[in-house]
Amino acid sequence: MKNEVDELLKESIEPPIIVLENVSKSYQKDVDAVKDVSIKIRKGEFVFIVGSSGSGKSTLIKMLLKEIEPTSGKIFVNGRDITRLRRRLVPKFRRNLGIVFQDFRLLKDRNVFENVAFAQRVIEKPSRTIQRNVPAMLSLVGLSDKLNAFPRELSGGEQQRVALARALVNNPLILLADEPTGNLDPKNSWDIMSLLDEVNKKGTTVVVVTHNVEIVDAMQKRVITMNKGILVSDEQKGGYSNEN
Ligand SMILES: Nc1ncnc2c1ncn2[C@@H]1O[C@H](COP(=O)(O)OP(=O)(O)OP(=O)(O)O)[C@@H](O)[C@H]1O
């Protein structure tokens, strides 16, 4: 009872920024990649989504990005029902989101500065602002000395830090990271997770899909565990091994 009252109280102070209501997705008839999942994430939370391969984690992220549509259920982001959002408004909606993937997805023929600046140019920031914001963001991820380097001249960890700077430069409400440490060694994985933690402490809501057991167990954040499309546990200060 006390927990329920606490929950209601928290919600009245800080309404959820991401709400999934009975969300299901089937790519093929009668096979649910995600099945009746309901989740509420409040502004400023740090949430891990874990689960074995094929459990539906990336499908959840893709639905949040509106890359794919749920077969049924509703998804609200920042109070808006994105399942009803018109196609032409999707790019504007995505400005609320910073996104990081396992494979970095940098522009190979542009240097580090331009890779991050690109995100600002898309939203038509004036070049004076870009000249100020991009170096500041690259300094935050510890890459001030690599502004002119090309992606091929960087290590995997450095490339992921560029991707993170690009995801953050427009000051998104939510940072979504799908396996951000999947291609990194333990040291670089920790560096990236520490940066995500720092960003979260400054107020950005962070949602991270990962297989990294050690990091999830050590960080003691909220952990949502998926199994075969079903949400099987949702623990505050959880660990990877709780349900796996
Ligand atoms: N485009 C698609 N067409 C058909 N089935 C798909 C498609 N994408 C994913 N699936 C299926 O949906 C299920 C969930 O896949 P999803 O990629 O969301 O899992 P995941 O938890 O992210 O896995 P991993 O950890 O391996 O990345 C799997 O059974 C997968 O085969």
Give the pLDDT of residue 60.
96
Sort residue 237 into left (φ over 0), alpha (ψ -120 to 50) or beta.
Answer: left
Residues within 6 Å of ligand 1 by CB = 27, 33, 51, 53-59
The model's pTM is 0.91
CA angle 150, 153, 155 (to 5 degrees): 120
54 Cα: distance to centroid of ligand 1 (angstroms)? 5
Pocket-testing residue among 23, 37, 52, 57, ligand 1, by greatest number of atoms within 8 A of Cβ: 57
Residue 45 phi, psi (nearest 5): -80, 160
Distance from chain centroid for Cα 219: 16
Quickly list H helices, the chain: 2-13, 57-64, 90-94, 112-122, 127-140, 156-168, 186-201, 213-219
Pocket-testing residue among 23, 25, 31, 58, ligand 1, by greatest number of atoms within 8 A of Cβ: 58
Give the pLDDT of residue 133.
95
Q: What is the ipTM of this complex?
A: 0.96
Pick the residue whose CA is nearest to atom 26 on ligand 1: 53
61 Cα: distance to centroid of ligand 1 (angstroms)? 11
Shortest-distance atom of ligand 1 to CA 62? 18
48 Cα: distance to centroid of ligand 1 (angstroms)? 18
38 Cα: distance to centroid of ligand 1 (angstroms)? 19
3 Cα: distance to centroid of ligand 1 (angstroms)? 34
Give the pLDDT of residue 242.
55
Residues in the chain: 244
DSSP letter (8 states) at residue 66: T
With a cut of 70, list the residues of the chain below it in pLDDT. 1-2, 7-13, 242-244
Give the pLDDT of residue 244.
45
Shortest-distance atom of ligand 1 to CA 55? 21
Give the contacts of 41 (CB within 8 A, at least 6 positions apart).
Answer: 16, 17, 18, 19, 47, 205, 207
> For 189-229, how does the pLDDT look when each residue is reduced to its tens digit (9 = 90+)?
999 999 999 999 999 999 999 999 899 999 999 999 999 99
Give the pLDDT of residue 240.
82
Give the pLDDT of residue 165.
95
**What distance in Å separates the CA atoms of residue 32 and residue 28, rounded to the nearest whole number?**
8
**What distance in Å separates the CA atoms of residue 84 and residue 62, rounded to the nearest whole number?**
16
Pick the residue whose CA is nearest to atom 4 on ligand 1: 27
